[in-house]
Amino acid sequence: MKSGERTDIRQVAKQKFTDYLTAHKCRKTPERFAVLDVIYSDSRHFDTDMLFETLQKDGFPVSRATLYNTLQLLLDCRLIVKHHFEEHRAFYERAGGAFHLHLVCTGCHSVTEYQDAELQRAILNKKIKKFKAAHYVLNVSGLCTECARQLKKNNKKK
Ligand SMILES: [Zn+2]
Ligand SMILES: [Zn+2]
């Protein structure tokens, strides 16, 4: 992605968030915009702990309460989407990103994003009765090579 393009996405998101906060009479605090900026600087998904740490590292420490509250606002105005790869842990990522798969390892719980042009064509060209597909994010569970290797080693020991 070109850097100019990236600035654009951030600007558009910022404007959308500003409009939303104004319309809903919410305060436009620098903390809320710092959260948005961090999210839109990186296309990968994240959980609240990762976001909390990134904000601290960037010199923008926000409280957990502010973080949760801001994430809820961003969900409400559809600037981010929420995923549940694991039952008790939510992951977020910015909305409107590229079509992709989430490869979820059931061993170490790592999540890798994966893009495939062939699969994308297949899904978008698929004729589904009374439905026209426009976007997708697929979650595929399995084992990463590291966990598969570990499993094989453990099985040998038995
Ligand atoms: Zn993703
Ligand atoms: Zn793994």
Residue 93 CA to ligand 1 center (angstroms) comes to 6
Residue 58 CA to ligand 2 center (angstroms) comes to 29
* Number of DSSP helices (H) and strands (E) in the chain, helices first: 6, 5
Ligand of minimum distance to the alpha carbon of 115: 1
Q: Tell me the per-residue pLDDT of 66-75, one tens digit each, with 9 for 90 and over.
A: 999 999 999 9
User: pTM of the full predicted structure?
Assistant: 0.78
Average pLDDT over residues 11-32: 96
Residue 18 CA to ligand 2 center (angstroms) comes to 40
Q: Which of 6, 26, 74, 16 minimizes the C-alpha distance to 46?
A: 74
Residue 100 CA to ligand 1 center (angstroms) comes to 7
Mean pLDDT of the chain: 89
Q: Tell me the per-residue pLDDT of 92-101, one tens digit each, with 9 for 90 and over.
A: 999 877 788 9
pLDDT at 63 over 90: yes
pLDDT at 133 over 90: no
Q: Measure the CA–CA gap between 34 and 71, rounded to whole angstroms.
A: 12
